[in-house]
């Protein structure tokens, strides 16, 4: 009957879980004093709290984390495309592909790996600048939210904010949404608004001020401690400035005025 079947299924799943756990323990015991596996790094760790030891563990990590990606993702797939503006870490020509193959796991593929690089169609040295804000402390979410609202207001809208954590995105959104709404600037956020990514992109593209091929673009980094390799995404000659938030806001506001003047000759800043 149904109840007996449910009990049997429950017992089967329970046994499967215990078998997996036992297999993990057997593998762990086999590593203690056994030959080292060249693909892994093993280490013992002791967790302490308030001067007391409360846990110990034998840990294992892939020496090359990209190897399981190649085994599990690449090989079974019909094709995989990996793309990034910083994939070659600033390498030009044939340089940089070795690093890219290491970071993506492509070096573990026996054949079929193709490299393709496309230069940017934009003149970054003339059409852009990178502003690195130096006076916002790491983890200071109120200051981060204040910086976002000031920069978005200074840009007159048409700004795209990128976050590395959904939690920070939601906190900043909750702090600045009302302020920007009162300024007449709509704010859309992935993981907050009930809109799919494609719709958000379409809304963003609808602003005519950001569709001009000769627009001046500003990239504002609100953390002075971001990885320096990210700057390799910008071609040589791109202006990079480190400055406090007040000066960054002034730069963005001035560029907004110039952009509107070029788009609308009759525009007069208030």
Q: Is residue 31 part of a domain?
A: no
Per residue in 121-167, pLDDT (tens digit) is 778 788 888 899 998 988 899 999 999 999 999 988 778 888 888 89
Residue 270 has pLDDT above 70, yes or no: no
Per residue in 193-245, pLDDT (tens digit) is 887 878 877 877 776 544 455 567 788 888 777 666 677 777 778 888 899 99
Same domain, 84 and 135: no
Q: Is residue 268 part of a domain?
A: no
Q: What is the pLDDT of residue 146?
A: 94
Same domain, 195 and 243: yes
Overall number of domains in the chain: 3
Average pLDDT over residues 12-22: 86
Q: What is the pLDDT of residue 209?
A: 47
Q: Is residue 162 part of a domain?
A: yes
The residue with greater pLDDT, 119 or 142, is 142
Of the candidates 135, 94, 107, the residue with the CA atom closest to the CA atom of residue 243: 135
Of 34-43, 64-73, 82-91, 172-181, where does mean pLDDT reach its minimum?
A: 82-91
The model carries a pTM of: 0.61
Same domain, 88 and 201: no
Same domain, 133 and 225: yes
Same domain, 247 and 136: yes
Q: Is residue 181 part of a domain?
A: yes
171: confidence class by pLDDT, cuts 50, 70, 90: very high
The domain containing residue 74 runs over which residues?
Answer: 66-108
Same domain, 55 and 78: no
> Could you give the percent of the chain with pLDDT greater than 90?
18
Same domain, 89 and 217: no
Q: What is the dihedral of CA 255, 257, 262, 265, to 10 degrees?
A: -170
> What is the C-alpha radius of gyration for the chain, rounded to an integer number of angstroms?
26
Same domain, 54 and 139: no
Same domain, 83 and 157: no
The residue with greater pLDDT, 256 or 108, is 108
Same domain, 156 and 234: yes
CB 172 within 8 Å of CB 148:
yes
Q: What is the pLDDT of residue 269?
A: 60
Q: What is the pLDDT of residue 3?
A: 84
Residue 98 has pLDDT above 90, yes or no: no
Give me the chain's average pLDDT, please: 82
Residue 17 has pLDDT above 60, yes or no: yes
Residue 26 has pLDDT above 70, yes or no: yes
Same domain, 129 and 222: yes
Q: Is residue 151 part of a domain?
A: yes
Q: Is residue 232 part of a domain?
A: yes
Per residue in 65-93, pLDDT (tens digit) is 999 999 999 999 988 998 887 777 655 55
Of 46-55, 62-71, 170-179, where does mean pLDDT reach its minimum?
A: 46-55
- Kind of pairing, strands 128-133 and 240-243? parallel
Same domain, 134 and 189: yes
Q: Is residue 167 part of a domain?
A: yes
The residue with greater pLDDT, 108 or 31, is 108
Q: Is residue 269 part of a domain?
A: no
CB 128 within 8 Å of CB 216:
yes
């Amino acid at each position: 009957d149904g109840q007996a079947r449910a009990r049997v299924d429950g017992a089967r799943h329970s046994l499967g879980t215990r078998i997996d756990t036992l297999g993990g323990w057997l593998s762990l015991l086999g590593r203690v004093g056994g030959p080292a596996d060249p693909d892994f790094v093993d280490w013992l760790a002791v967790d302490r709290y308030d001067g007391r030891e409360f846990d110990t563990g034998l840990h294992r990590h892939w020496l090359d984390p990209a190897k399981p990606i190649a085994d599990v993702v690449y090989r079974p797939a019909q094709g995989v495309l990996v793309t990034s503006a910083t994939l070659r870490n600033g390498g030009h020509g044939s340089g940089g592909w070795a690093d890219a193959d290491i970071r993506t796991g492509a070096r573990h593929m026996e054949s079929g790996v193709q490299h393709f690089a496309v230069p940017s169609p934009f003149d970054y040295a003339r059409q852009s600048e990178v502003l690195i804000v130096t006076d916002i402390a790491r983890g200071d979410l109120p200051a981060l939210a204040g910086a976002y609202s000031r920069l978005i207001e200074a840009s007159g809208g048409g700004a795209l904010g990128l976050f590395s954590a959904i939690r920070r995105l939601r906190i900043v959104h909750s702090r600045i949404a009302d302020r920007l709404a009162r300024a007449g600037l709509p704010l859309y956020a992935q993981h907050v608004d009930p809109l799919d990514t494609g719709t958000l992109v379409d809304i963003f593209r609808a602003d005519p001020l950001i569709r001009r091929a000769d627009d001046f673009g500003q990239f504002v980094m609100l953390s002075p401690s971001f990885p320096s390799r990210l700057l390799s995404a910008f071609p040589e000659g791109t202006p990079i400035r480190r400055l406090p938030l007040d000066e960054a806001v002034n730069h963005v506001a001035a560029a907004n005025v110039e952009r509107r003047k070029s788009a609308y000759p009759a525009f007069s800043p208030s």
